Every structure is written in structure tokens, then in C-alpha cells.
Chain A
Amino acid sequence: MTIDLVLFFGLALIAVVAAIAMIASRNAVYSALFLVFNFLTVATLYLLLNAAFIAVVQVTVYAGAIMVLFLFVIMLLGTERESIGGRIRWQMPLSIVLGLALAGELAYVLLRNDIVQGPLADLTVEFGSPASIGRVLFNEYLVPFEVTSILLLVAMIGAIVITRKQREEGK
């Protein structure tokens, strides 16, 4: 059980430090790579929570597909550098105050209401396997699944329509 604690603290520290580094780095390419690092750390946290399938999907979809899309667009546009100091001077201090206020409120509510449950239930080996998740997804949650597929289709068509060059306008 102590190895779990050590793993958890190490992973939590790495995740938070990677997130801060992602926000603090001015170069968008570094930001994206730190975000990949953060996603991989959170995937390991999922493994610690016995959610192996979610961890694998996190690595393939988030760290793989989505971040490759981000890096592709950053390098395509060539706008990775962010100029320092904009027109809105009070934006940075106000965001620090708002972020810290949210973190403080969340930590206060969490630490005041003790929501710790009893000992963890043991999980069987095949519980949460892709087969069992698929069975539940296609039986109980069929309608949300279909709505998600329509959402993906709409996003795909929307991305194509938005980025298409308007030839009719130019003529």
C-alpha cells in the first residue's frame, strides 16, 4: 500500500508541475509537449485507479490524436511565439487571483467535508475490460452513444466547411 502512496504523490506532483510548465512556457510547441506529458501522467493515474481501458484511450486519443492535431496546426501557422505584454494590462494579475480563488474554494470545500469512504471494493480482473464496457455502451447507453456519433459527424463536417476556401466569394 505504501508503494501506491509513493506512486500517487510522484504522479500528482509531476502532473501539476507539467501543467504549470505548460501554462508558463511562451512557446506554443513547448506548451503542447508539456500537455502531452501531463496527459501521460494522468493516464498512469488512471492505471492506479484500475481503469486500464480509459488509460489506453487517454494515450491514443488525447496524447496521440488530439495533440498531434495541435502540433500540426501550431507548426502550420508558424505562430508559436507569443508577444509579451498586450493591450490588456490587468488580465494576468486578475487571472492569477481568479485561478487561486477557485483552487482555494475547491480545496476548502474538499477538506471540510470529509468524503472518504470505507475500504475499496476489490475488482475482478475482467471488470472494466473493453468487452464489458462495449456491452454496457451498446445496451444501456445506446442513445448517448448514437448522439455522440452524430456530434462527431457534425464536428467533421463543420471543420471541413469552416476551413474550405471560399472560391465563390473571390470571383
Chain B
Amino acid sequence: MIPLSWYILVSAALFSIGIYGALARRNALAILMAIELMLNAVNLNLVAFWRYLTPNVVAGKVFVLVVFAVAASEVAVGLALIISIYRRRHTIAVEEIDMMKW
């Protein structure tokens, strides 16, 4: 039997890689993809906890479905923002989008 903590370790590794990507990449699209990776790690956590701790309640799966919907809407709005910024500035490097800084 696979211990629960191994699943959470895999999930923690994926989340940390996502954190590094969101902090280190300079392409706005890559940052958005790293955030997707982090949401995915959280989902793995939720499913593992559902299977090991409360397998008789479907609530864990419902939570994962809500996270799917939130991720989809986040990507839609984020990509719309990136397209809008690219139209005005012709770049999506995050350090060059500094017009609100003074």
C-alpha cells in the first residue's frame, strides 16, 4: 500500500516547481502555465486526501471540479489580459510591463 504522505510529497514537489517557475520566468505565458501546474498539484492533494481519509464522501471530488472551473476561468481572463497587453506594448516580458510603476 502506498502511504498517503508519498502522494503529498509528489504534490509538494510539483507545487514547489510551479513556485519556482512563477518567480523565475519572465514570459507572462510561462508564468500562467506555472500557476496551472500549482493548481494541478493542489488537485492531486485533494484527490489523495479524499481517497485516504474520507472515501465515503464525494465532497473531495466536488472540490476538484470547482478548482477545474476556477482554473479554466482564470486562464481565459489571463490570456485575454496578455493579448490586450501585447496589442499595446508588443511584448509579454513581465519586466517591461511597468507602466503602472513610478
Contacts A16-B10, A42-B40, A117-B52 hold; do A57 and B77 have CB atoms under 8 A apart? no
* B100 contacts A by Cβ under 8 Å: no
- Across-interface contacts of A77 in B (CB, < 8 A): 29, 82-83, 86, 92
Q: In A18-65, which residues have CB < 8 Å from any B CB?
A: 19-20, 22-23, 28, 31-32, 35, 38-39, 42, 45-46, 49-51, 53-54, 57-58, 61-62, 65
Chain B: minimal CB distance from A58 (Å):
8
Asked whether B47 lies within 8 Å of A99 as measured between CB atoms, the reply is no
Bitwise, A140-152 to B at CB < 8 A (1) or not (0) is 1100100010011
- Across-interface contacts of B2 in A (CB, < 8 A): 4-5, 8
* B81 contacts A by Cβ under 8 Å: yes
Asked whether B61 lies within 8 Å of A61 as measured between CB atoms, the reply is no
Chain A: minimal CB distance from B91 (Å):
8
A55 (CB) vs chain B CBs: closest residue: B47
Asked whether A115 lies within 8 Å of B5 as measured between CB atoms, the reply is yes
* B contact residues, total (Cβ < 8 Å): 71
Q: In B1-30, which residues have CB < 8 Å from any A CB?
A: 1-10, 12-21, 23-27, 29-30
B84 (CB) vs chain A CBs: closest residue: A162
Q: In A107-166, which residues have CB < 8 Å from any B CB?
A: 107, 110-111, 114-117, 119-121, 123, 128, 132-133, 136-137, 140-141, 144, 148, 151-152, 154-156, 158-160, 162-163
Asked whether B56 lies within 8 Å of A136 as measured between CB atoms, the reply is no
- Across-interface contacts of B40 in A (CB, < 8 A): 38-39, 42, 62
Partner of A66 from the list B13, B18, B71 (CB cut-off 8 Å) is B71
- Across-interface contacts of B34 in A (CB, < 8 A): 23
7 A-B pairs within 8 Å (CB atoms) are namely A8-B6, A42-B40, A77-B83, A95-B20, A98-B20, A99-B20, A156-B73
Write the residues of chain A forming the contact surface with B, with a CB cutoff of 8 angstroms.
1, 4-5, 8, 12, 15-16, 19-20, 22-23, 28, 31-32, 35, 38-39, 42, 45-46, 49-51, 53-54, 57-58, 61-62, 65-66, 69-70, 73-74, 76-77, 79, 82-83, 86-88, 91-92, 94-96, 98-100, 102-103, 106-107, 110-111, 114-117, 119-121, 123, 128, 132-133, 136-137, 140-141, 144, 148, 151-152, 154-156, 158-160, 162-163
